[in-house]
Structure 1
Amino acid sequence: MTQISNAIATRDNGPEAIVRQHKDDLTLVLPSHVKGETWMRLAYGVLRSNTQLMQVATRNPGSLMTALQDCARLGHEPASKSFYLVPFGNEIQGIEGYRGVVERIYRAGAVKVVHAEVVYENDEFVWEPGTVDTHQPPRWEGPQTVPFHRADWFADRGEVKGAFSYGIFQDGTPSRVVIINRTYINKVRKESKGSESPKSPWVKWFDQMVLKTVAHRLEPWVPTSTEWRKEQLRATAEVTAEQAGPAVITPPASTGPGYPEPTSPEDFNDDTPIEGELVD
């Protein structure tokens, strides 16, 4: 009987109650493709099914709300393979997985293929943009537009040397190629809280964290939001209306739902064509 009473008290006064109180705040930031009621039920279910998560959330409910708000803003399901809720000491961290980054790119609809690979010391890797590619099979003859990567998948490939990523747009053209080296990977890991802990994903799933890191570097060069697609449809509709004849069009707000996520100012100011990026 005592256990039942404690469970009811936790439900009415604990982290789940706090999540319920902030339901409107959480569902307000959800992208349009996510159903608010379904998302909230998943959030409640995570707390009920994970004792350790519930205990840490009870001690530090603020960290839970921060993690859930990040999860909602990115359009992921709580505690899924796309977004992890990880207890670290006395707080909960929300960690977007590699799968989550790639999902957001695909959702926008502009990219049909996302390519990301970890490069090891014993792999063959060639990236000489703009040169005639002699490394690729005959069908790739001509200027090199994407890196060439060859690996013996069943041998000892050595230590992680770096990673690369690029997208293929719907018309078949590649996006900007992003390449990161081990120095950059180590820098990102060092800035990640608790990265040396045995429970850290940097310790348990190092390769996956490297893939997520390089995928994040690709984000500024490809659309990553379903709102981007809506903006393209809206722009197309406006052009069609203008071509059809004079019309009164009320200009929409410059921010808010229906508009692409903010990107770096460099995306708009750099007129020089760059085929690749090496982050050091």
Structure 2
Amino acid sequence: MSQIGNAIATRDNGPEALVRQHKEDLTLVLPSHVKGETWMRLAYGALRSNEQLLKVATRNPGSLMNALQECARLGHEPGTESYYLVPFGNEVQGIEGYRGVVERIYRAGAVKAVKAEVVHAGDHFEYSPDMDQPIHKPDYFGERGPIVGAYAYGVFQDGSTSKVVVINRTYIDKVKKESRGSNSPTSPWVKWEDQMVLKTVARRLEPWVPSSTEWRKEQLRAASEVTAEQAGPTVINAGSAPAATEPSEPGGYDEGPIEAELLDD
């Protein structure tokens, strides 16, 4: 069979065909800000652009589907810096990147800024629990030395600062050790240590800041209930037309709360 014939056979019978077959299941769990067709094209593109990924996915298609399902559930685009598809041994691993964690925090809408930085041995760093934010002065043009820690915090919409999370090298090494194959040449811990440290500290920040679009939907629901309680019950006399309420703004009438789903652009 020619190379073109092999390519067509792989497309029609390989991992890409499996992904296409389960398109509805995968896109069904995507949040509203992710377009299904775009997401699917990225999934196909990730397989076509990485020969090793395609080989592993062909041998173990179940691991590919598990990774893609987790990617969709988190609302990330596959094969990007938000969510990596990494061939590891005989399976495909889905790895949420630092950018993916931060995106989920922003997506919740509670914070207007996320600050996360890696601290090197040559940096000037100060922090104590009575400080709102750390003082960090890296020498970007000097020899910064090895990574000794990292920190992260969020700035809420009202300008207040979340809890500041600080991790040291001991904690970083512990997380790295618990990551399977972290010493492998293909491991993200070897190839992109800075990014993995940033992701580690961002994950530690998550309990202190909302990181789900469900938070925003809950705020809408709560606001709707408060509005309904303040409006009180509407009394309509039998045999008479409903009384008009006072207009809530010029040219319009307040029709009470409506249920709405927040759509992210």
The TM-score bracket by the shorter chain reads 0.7 to 0.9
Q: CA deviation at 1:37?
A: 2.5
Q: CA deviation at 1:157?
A: 1.8
SS in 1 for 2:80: coil
What is aligned with 1:233? 220
Cα RMSD of the aligned pairs, angstroms, is 2.0
Match of 2:186 among 199, 209, 218: 199
Deviating beyond 6 angstroms after TM superposition, the runs of 4 or more aligned structure 1 residues are: none
Q: CA deviation at 1:41?
A: 2.2
Q: CA deviation at 1:150?
A: 2.1
SS in 2 for 1:31: coil
Q: What's the TM-score, normalizing by structure 2? A: 0.84
Equivalent-residue separation in structure 2 for 1:56 and 1:239 (angstroms): 53
Equivalent-residue separation in structure 1 for 2:194 and 2:27 (angstroms): 33
Equivalent-residue separation in structure 1 for 2:231 and 2:211 (angstroms): 32
Letter in 2 for 1:46: A
SS in 2 for 1:187: helix
What is aligned with 2:202? 215
What is aligned with 2:77? 77
SS in 2 for 1:78: coil
The answer for unaligned runs of 5 or more in structure 2 is 235-258
Q: What's the TM-score, normalizing by structure 1? A: 0.79
**Cα distance 1:33–1:246, how it changes in 2: closer, same or farther (>3 A)?**
same
The answer for unaligned runs of 5 or more in structure 1 is 131-143, 259-280
What is aligned with 1:261? none
Q: CA deviation at 1:207?
A: 1.1
Write out per-residue CA displacement over residues 99-149 of structure 1, whole angstroms, 9 at most, x where no aligned residue. 11111111111111100111122222222223xxxxxxxxxxxxx211222
Write out per-residue CA displacement over residues 221-256 of structure 1, whole angstroms, 9 at most, x where no aligned residue. 111122321221121111111111138xxxx9xxxx
Letter in 1 for 2:4: I
Match of 1:183 among 170, 178, 195: 170
Equivalent-residue separation in structure 1 for 2:57 and 2:19 (angstroms): 11
What is aligned with 1:172? 159
Letter in 2 for 1:215: A
Write out per-residue CA displacement over residues 148-192 of structure 1, whole angstroms, 9 at most, x where no aligned residue. 222222211222111110000010000111111111100111111
Greater CA radius of gyration, 1 or 2?
Answer: 2
Higher mean alpha-carbon deviation, 220-229 vs 62-71, is at: 220-229
What is aligned with 1:264? none
Aligned length: 238
What is aligned with 1:278? none
Tell me, yes or no, if the aligned pair for 1:15 and 1:57 is still in contact at 8 Å: yes
SS in 1 for 2:166: strand
**1:82-161 alignment, distance < 5 Å:** 82-130=82-130, 144-161=131-148
Flag the structure with more relative contact order, 1 or 2, with Cα contacts below 8 A and sequence separation at least 6. Answer: 1
